[in-house]
Amino acid sequence: MTTQFNQPKIALITGASRGLGKNMALHLAKDGVDLILTYQHNTADAQAVVAAAEKLGRKAVALQLDVSQSATFPDFAAQVQQALQQHWQRTTFDFLVNNAGIGLHVPMTETSVEQFDLLMNIHVKGPFFLTQQLLPQLADGGRIVNVSTGLTRFAIPGYGAYAMMKGAVETMTKYWAKELGARGIRVNVLAPGAIETDFGGGAVRDNESLNQFIASQTALGRAGQPDDIGGALSLLLSEQAGWINAQRIEASGGMFL
């Protein structure tokens, strides 16, 4: 299989059993990248992604992980180490994609402490401490991509708490790039615009009026498709993007310009 990488790489993608994470995983598999993907509940969906990757000629493993439960991360890192040794006879992987997340559309005046804390645990505390645990297994010269959102650039009422968390992700990305530069690790943000998936209840995909509004406010005249984001991730992880570091790359088709 032709690959854009000099040798097969291994990517760990959180939340890769569905939605954008699934699309990212399969894009990378087509590029010749092996996979460790995480899922929270749906084992069947995760194994379906594994099977699809294997059909493309790649090795793939699915591990259960709830990114809101940071106390479980040391055990998860041990599972990753075991998987690397068992399936690849290696001790390191090459790419970490912090993708797992949930949406929330609630006005500031109605946002509960419980909702805020859950968003914080999943989108900020989760990636921070998961990455901390996995750094010993991330190869020197590797790459980290943190998934953010177009909502950190433009404001749509009701998404403030969610966007705040992603703003924190974008800030920590710059700090990680600085701190990990000595190991040759590049760290970037991929910020999708509105994409037709089941995220947030599938509103962009299923609500025709919302979809048409997004299309009218996007330079390329349509809402995004999962393949748009999977392709952008492949680009960021490619050898050709090796000098891109500490950057926020928005893949939105030109929303709200």
- Catalytic residue check, 162: yes
User: Whole-angstrom Cα distance, residue 35 to residue 33?
Assistant: 7
Scan for tokens 């492949």, then name that residue: 234
- In the set 39, 159, 162, 175, the catalytic residue is 162
Residue by residue, DSSP assigns the chain as ---SSSS-EEEEESS-SSHHHHHHHHHHHHTTEEEEEEESS-HHHHHHHHHHHHHTT--EEEEE--TT-GGGHHHHHHHHHHHIIIIIS-S-EEEEEE---------GGG--HHHHHHHHIIIIIHHHHHHHHHGGGEEEEEEEEEE--GGGTS--TT-HHHHHHHHHHHHHHHHHHHHHGGGT-EEEEEEE-SBSSSGGGSHHHH-HHHHHHHHHTBTTSS-B-HHHHHHHHHHHHSGGGTT--S-EEEESSSBT-
User: Whole-angstrom Cα distance, residue 139 to residue 218?
Assistant: 38
Cite the active site residues.
162
